[in-house]
Amino acid sequence: MARLKVAVLISGSGTNLQALIDACAAPDFPAEITKVISNRPNAGGIARAERAGIAVQVIDHKTFADRRAFDAALDDALRASDIELVCLAGFMRLLTEEFVNRWHDRLINIPPSLLPSFKGLHAAGQAVAAGVRITGCTVHFVRAEMDSGPIIVQAAVPVKSSDTEESLQARIQRAEHLCYPQALKLIAEGRVQVAGEKASVKDDGFAEDNRLINPT
């Protein structure tokens, strides 16, 4: 069976990219990363991709007149590489509605929050400020509205009373590194179906007593 051809879009250090690279290195993993695109020439994730032997392309957003022109170049690069699914991994650009619609149900992202809560920047800081006991991360299909779209995988992360934005973000990030490969695997196996604006997972392994309570 052919492996799903994936592109990962990055802007920074690429820790989620590394988690995906590590997962795809398994010979039985149903997807492969065939391209990494960065909008920043100095992104740390570029070196991670190069070490893994993955083709890298830099498309610097600063060299384009507007978002639409940048997104058009991005779309051209993805289609030229026969990409089937795009993973946003710390990609710090708002994509145009036109681009998102072209990649409908073929574009996923992982915000550090339990959507629909705490959308946008500093999600961990928002959670700390709100005093919630549980937050987490979400892998979802991207829609034009920021941090919205059918949810594929979520992980719950407890919030400590002593947490800062930085300490909580570090724990959420560890959960992200588990969830993103899991979501990619589910999609590549054909186990995720989208109806309307809701995603369902075939054989999702739900357990009635699988719960997290904080504080215990």
Domain containing residue 144: CATH number:
3.40.50.170
d(CA 129, CA 121): 13
Domains of the chain: total? 2
pLDDT of residue 203: 87
Of 103, 125, 155, the position where a domain reaches its end is 103
Q: What's the chain's length in residues?
A: 216
Of 70, 103, 136, the position where a domain reaches its end is 103
Per residue in 69-84, pLDDT (tens digit) is 999 999 999 999 999 9
pLDDT of residue 1: 72
Question: Same domain, yes or no, for 69 and 5?
Answer: yes
- Confidence class for position 66, pLDDT limits 50, 70, 90: very high
Per residue in 174-201, pLDDT (tens digit) is 999 999 999 999 999 999 999 989 999 9
Task: Report if residue 172 sits inside a domain.
Answer: yes
Question: Same domain, yes or no, for 10 and 91?
Answer: yes
* First vs last C-alpha separation in the chain: 45
Range of the domain at 118: 109-199
pTM of the model: 0.96
d(CA 52, CA 184): 18
Question: Same domain, yes or no, for 125 and 79?
Answer: no
**Is 154 in a helix, a strand, or coil?**
strand
Question: Same domain, yes or no, for 73 and 135?
Answer: no
Parallel, antiparallel, or unpaired for β 198-201 and 31-38?
unpaired
Question: Same domain, yes or no, for 131 and 148?
Answer: yes
pLDDT of residue 204: 85
Q: Are 112 and 139 in contact (CB under 8 A)?
A: no
Question: Same domain, yes or no, for 13 and 88?
Answer: yes
pLDDT of residue 193: 97
User: Quick one: tokens of 74?
Assistant: 């991005």
Of 58, 83, 103, the position where a domain reaches its end is 103
Task: Report if residue 213 sits inside a domain.
Answer: no
d(CA 24, CA 35): 13
d(CA 102, CA 83): 12
pLDDT of residue 163: 98
Q: Are 60 and 41 in contact (CB under 8 A)?
A: yes
d(CA 173, CA 199): 23
Question: Same domain, yes or no, for 97 and 114?
Answer: no
pLDDT of residue 210: 81
User: Quick one: tokens of 133?
Assistant: 């006991």
Q: Select from 189, 37, 12 the least CA-distant residue to 99.
A: 37
- Confidence class for position 208, pLDDT limits 50, 70, 90: confident
Task: Report if residue 209 sits inside a domain.
Answer: no
Please report, rounded to a whole number, the percentage of residues in the chain having pLDDT higher than 90. 94
Per residue in 32-41, pLDDT (tens digit) is 999 999 999 9
